[in-house]
Amino acid sequence: MRLNGKTALITGAARGIGRGIALCLAEEGANIVVNDLGDDSGISAHADAVAAEIEAAGGEVISHGANVANFEQVTDMVGQAMDKWGRVDILINNAGILRDKSFLKMEPENWQAVMDVHLNGAYFVTRPAMAAMKENGYGRIVMTTSAAGLYGNFGQTNYSAAKMGLIGLANAIKLEGAKYNIKVNTVAP
């Protein structure tokens, strides 16, 4: 299946699974928004490096250093994709961080930081992206969850709760998106 003319936004796309997804979708012909957390000016050297790989292979790409936990920054990111290509067709919510501690030692700021990136970040990015998808009558959204969310993991109560929250978020928005031809799935690599 070729993705020519489709636009894909991938969060956490500078390394690991996200990088692999970005390169694969670009190889299939999609326009790519490579997102990875940038510095205070919003520049992400890691995202820029992946974007350079895509450009070198002849792909169309935007590199964006938005913090997914910042609604204004991700709204700008989606807006840039809309300005350049007029659409967002695919969203892969892959951004993530770890702040591992056993539950009784976990400080509230470590709980909140993980919730902000995994769960709130997915909401913040999905909301404007899904609005763009609704306008175009087409969309595919993937939430990257984890076995830790499905089964729990010692020392990862924050991560486990956030990843399970993504499943609930996906299950609800798939019902709302169905009438607009927006399909939503979760993967647990």
Residue 38: predicted pLDDT? 85
Residue 1: predicted pLDDT? 65
Confidence of residue 40 (pLDDT cuts 50, 70, 90): confident
Give the span between the Cα atoms of 107 and 23, in whole angstroms. Answer: 37
Q: Please pick, among 123, 138, 151, 159, the residue that the annotation labels catalytic.
A: 159
* CA-based end-to-end distance of the chain: 22
Neighbour order of strands in the sheet with 7-10: 61-64, 31-35, 7-10, 90-93, 139-144, 182-187
Residue 159 catalytic? yes
Mean pLDDT of 78-96: 98
pLDDT digits (tens, 9 = 90+) for 152-180: 999 999 999 999 999 999 999 999 999 99
Structure pTM? 0.96
Confidence of residue 39 (pLDDT cuts 50, 70, 90): confident
Using CB atoms within 10 Å of the CB of residue 72, give its burial: 0 to 12 exposed, 13 to 18 middle, 19+ buried: exposed
Q: Assess contact for 78 and 134: CB atoms under 8 A.
A: no
